[in-house]
Chain A
């Protein structure tokens, strides 16, 4: 076991940021190499974490705990904010995903020609905050990373984006900020209600804590506090815990995103540069799902169980609504953005089902979608780089000049529409299976979810038919000369991802064996 490996994983990209910031502008050629180096480091480090991770041990592993901020408030008690990191079966798959996607993101940033210094230092900053978000076990720390993600994202979209980048970045920022405020409210409520049992014992005072592990245990709640499980404080006649759950849920649902809180996503994607889209769809959305699994569900299992039907329904609505919207798009990137909404609906359905199949499937679906959406956005980027036009009806028969590109697109499309042998199938299958197995859900909810796989086939195959097959044609004749097949850099990004989705689809065991135990622990909260 390597001490402080999680801190190392989280913070070493910051060294890169510092390095880039200190180098003079004249050394701009070095910036991307520095970024590449630090992102590439993530892979072996997270590999080591995976190696030392024991799938059968319960609870968190490699926990790092330091007292961070402590001060006494006299009679009221003590404030204690800890620096706690740890991994379990829920965040480890996402950590691995993050390290892969962030590396791919750097490679696809190779062509950035504007303000490289700012770009790459922000990118590394983003890496740190995303990773931190996944490993933090203290709510305060989590929130800090969660908020910190906004800053680089805002600038990455707002400075390097497309024509409507300012609108999109502000929309993204405000949306997420609203979510954060809701989360903040709940965080404060929880903080007032929960005490650290160990420290309280020691000091004989109430030591309030932000530690998520304590928050997930009903014994640590003060009996007359606002979010006490048995106190039953009502706000407008609704139990405070239910309200808190919904606030958290909305906060994370915005990130995920769930219909009707999704409209920032298509805009952000359309305006964001390719690497930022890759990171946004590949990793950032998963923080929403992760937040549900790490915070909302373990802390408020009672409320989650009570509203299971509504939650699952929201998931199914996202699946279908996102699918239909994807079908209506003429902008390839927007279509893929909406297909993300549809695919993340499966995550919600799986989580809401409260079954081992569903939640494991949801985690799997998040990883699978991370890989596939990264691939899809890269593929859009390939076309956009060449012609600066990604409208579906501007092209026909791209297979002629770009056969390899079409094969990879075909793989990505079929994998995304749930073809067995690729990862998308397993994620959707298990999320749906959870929906069917769930004792709290009527069968028709999950059955409705299968509509999503028909719609996915419709929009992906229709796009394949319209853009890639048939006789070569382009609306803008000048584009025809620009259409060259994939170059080495693009192959270096796309082929590993294609292999990854294939491997995940053939050996789903690898991921499920990581997440199974943690999900089992989570499910113990739901009798």
Chain B
């Protein structure tokens, strides 16, 4: 077995990490192989596994906070050069361990009730365990190689969970789309890892950051950084690879809460936090731009959604853009902080949405026709029917909208402050970035209010029959909501509700957000949020229209139409069509090339082979004919000539002495003629 080398102060801690990693793996294998016999128990088994994991991570948190530990082992030795894998334990690891376990626990408890009628529950919880395993792998990975391994496994578990209802063609399609877009990002990520491994001979976070990085050319480092960022673009749904996330909502709602709001999509941000030291200013600039585009686009698209989950999905895209932008402007800790707060309130929002959907789904099958329990236009007035959900949703939504006294405000503000700082340092166009950040904060407040209003306020617009039959969720569903909602309040993160500067989170990293005019920006962002909220509240336009924009988009109509018609052409990129295989996502252009290639293969490459075959046969026939006509002809001809000459000369040799004499005479004469 390969040698194992140990560094760090408390090598024992690593064995706890291995234990944490092993638990969900055992859970997955166990549930997948045996739990079809105990479908009802599967949820509890999974929950217990995650609970144990959470306890162990709390133990690790208590014992090794502020300690950094690397556990490295040889994976392979090739030509006396070892390729190592390692796990890394530091504060970033510990925080994520807690977040992943905690949210996974709540989501599983929620799912037990939410999916209780599901026949394949064991499969669902097995996949969840697989996901927890791979996500924890990303969290503890100490080098990029190991991270890539788990990165791919996260993609797999996401595929399995989105496509959990495999009978639904749309779900299967969305799962494939998610996997493929992630794969594109991952291919870039892999290039980055292999380049880095080639240039620096290591992909280990600690040894790279402690100055083992040789003096590499700046351009190369930028390229490596951007290739690594491709992975982030896939997993964290950044522009232009963001399209999979809204479609991933085809999966069960608790999955959306866990994977597509709190953890998996956060993996990209987590990765950026790990490799931040590698990124050159140029790379960071690009990252900032991508993050900003994603942030604004996501928020803008969220406004026009009518599906309760899709709106939240676009909101997630936008918030991830904000985090990436934060990473780009150098606010690494603030971005991670937002990752943390966002994980709670967004998971809370998704679970609330799940509770709403659960409430509105008709129980008898024949009544379910034509009812879309996710359509917000069919909702309204739900505060009367589901008060707990309403309160929980309100708290989480307030955090998302960035209202003071809530967690989202603290972290968003911390990013914005750094962004303004960065903008003023860079000057010029760069100042657009924090301005757009502020703008999308306004948009966020706008759509949050819109959703809140559409779902809970006013009168119920849907089918009254459904409501009369159902009742609000049971305790298993309510408890996670309440816990997540309570975690959206500022007090858990910082005692000062207006300034994250004193938050314990920043103390973990021994940094403080950039100095600057905190208060001005705080007030500014509160104002923007308020503006967004009130505009949305008083907006009376039909819900499917974009309420905020008409005043802005005057005169932009032509441009808008142009863009629209262009986007229409790119339909294959976004849409799933039921009827045929023609417009399947991403396969469409690939398939074109594939068909060309196949044509080339059939008509050219293979035809050449066939023609060589034919020509050989034709040549063979020609040769055959030549053989018969010419070669054989010559032989035959010679034989014939011989026969002919023989016949002719036979008469000469007739046995008469006279003719011999004549012949002799002729011969002698010829000889004499030649000799002379």
Contact = CB atoms under 8 A, between A and B. Distances in A.
A455 to B, nearest CB: 7
B198 A509 contact: no
A93 to B, nearest CB: 15
Given A327-B594, A465-B173, A471 B78 contact: no
A516 B78 contact: yes
Given A324-B593, A470-B169, A451 B79 contact: no
A328 B594 contact: yes
Nearest to A361: B78
A421 B180 CA distance: 19
A329 B172 contact: no
B58 interface: no
Interface stretch (A7-15, A43-51, A343-351, A430-438): A430-438
Contact of A327 (B79, B590, B609): B590
B601 A421 contact: no
Given A357-B78, A509-B2, A453 B590 contact: no
B586 interface: yes
Contacts of A457: 179-180, 183
B203 to A, nearest CB: 11
Contacts of B179: 457, 461
A328 B180 contact: no
Given A324-B597, A433-B197, A450-B190, A509 B76 contact: yes
B183 A470 contact: no
A181 interface: no
Contact of A465 (B76, B79, B176, B596): B176
B98 interface: no
B194 interface: yes
Contacts of B195: 436, 443
A395 to B, nearest CB: 13
Interface in B352-372: none
B595 interface: yes
B379 interface: no
B591 A356 contact: no
A419 B190 contact: no
Nearest to A360: B78
A303 B594 CA distance: 34
Given A450-B191, A461-B180, A399 B166 contact: yes
A212 to B, nearest CB: 23
Interface string B1-16: 0100000000000000
Interface of chain A: mostly helix, strand, loop or mixed: helix
A457 B606 CA distance: 26
B59 interface: no
A64 interface: no
A419 B176 contact: no
Given A174-B613, A455-B590, A470-B166, A263 B606 contact: yes
Interface in A489-524: 508-509, 512-513, 516, 519-520, 523
A470 B191 CA distance: 34
Nearest to A471: B167
B664 interface: no
B38 to A, nearest CB: 18
Interface string A279-303: 0000000000000000000000000
Interface string B514-556: 0000000000000000000000000000000000000000000
A434 to B, nearest CB: 10
Interface string B132-163: 00000000000000001110110010010001
B664 to A, nearest CB: 50
Given A425-B152, A512-B76, A171 B591 contact: no
Contact of B191 (A326, A421, A447, A458): A447
B78 A321 contact: no
Contacts of B595: 328
Interface residues of B, number: 53
A408 interface: no
Nearest to A341: B601
Interface string A443-455: 1001100110111
Contact of A263 (B153, B172, B191, B609): B609
Interface in A55-97: none
Interface string A160-201: 000000000001001100000000000000000000000000
A519 B79 contact: yes
Interface footprint category on A:
35 or more
B166 A469 contact: yes
B587 interface: yes
Contact of B597 (A325, A425, A512): A325
B603 to A, nearest CB: 11
Nearest to A264: B609
Contacts, number: 135
Nearest to A326: B594
A437 B78 CA distance: 13
A508 B191 CA distance: 21
Contacts of B166: 397, 399, 469-470
Interface in B556-610: 581, 584, 586-587, 590-591, 593-598, 601, 605-606, 609
A466 interface: yes
B163 A469 contact: yes
A453 B187 contact: yes
A260 interface: yes
A442 interface: no
Given A458-B587, A465-B172, A509-B2, A450 B613 contact: no
Contacts of A262: 605
B81 interface: yes
A327 B591 contact: yes
B187 A454 contact: yes
| B180, B191, B596: most-surrounded residue (chain A CB, <10 A) | B191
A23 to B, nearest CB: 39
A519 B77 CA distance: 12
A425 B75 CA distance: 14
A443 B186 CA distance: 17
Contacts of A520: 79
A398 to B, nearest CB: 11
Given A399-B166, A471-B169, A419 B152 contact: yes
Interface in A329-375: 329, 356-357, 360
Contact of B594 (A324, A465, A471): A324
B78 A446 contact: no
Nearest to B151: A420
Which among B76, B148, B188, B591 has the highest number of chain A CB atoms within 10 Å? B76
B278 interface: no
Nearest to B167: A471
B184 interface: yes
Contacts of A466: 581
A37 interface: no
Which 10 A-B pairs have CB atoms at the shortest separation, nearest pair first? A356-B79, A327-B594, A328-B598, A328-B594, A324-B597, A420-B149, A436-B194, A263-B606, A469-B172, A450-B187
Given A325-B598, A465-B175, A470-B172, 19 more contacts: A171-B609, A260-B605, A324-B598, A325-B594, A327-B591, A327-B594, A360-B78, A397-B167, A399-B166, A419-B152, A420-B150, A436-B197, A436-B198, A455-B590, A458-B180, A464-B176, A469-B167, A471-B167, A519-B78
Interface of A: 171, 174-175, 259-260, 262-264, 321, 324-329, 356-357, 360, 393, 397, 399, 414, 418-421, 425, 429, 432-433, 436-437, 443, 446-447, 450-451, 453-455, 457-458, 461-462, 464-466, 469-471, 508-509, 512-513, 516, 519-520, 523
21 contacts: A262-B605, A328-B591, A397-B166, A419-B152, A420-B148, A432-B194, A437-B198, A451-B187, A454-B187, A457-B180, A458-B586, A461-B180, A464-B176, A465-B173, A465-B175, A470-B169, A470-B172, A508-B76, A509-B2, A512-B78, A519-B79
Interface of B: 2, 75-79, 81, 148-150, 152-153, 156, 159, 163, 166-169, 172-173, 175-176, 179-180, 183-184, 186-188, 190-191, 194-195, 197-198, 581, 584, 586-587, 590-591, 593-598, 601, 605-606, 609, 613
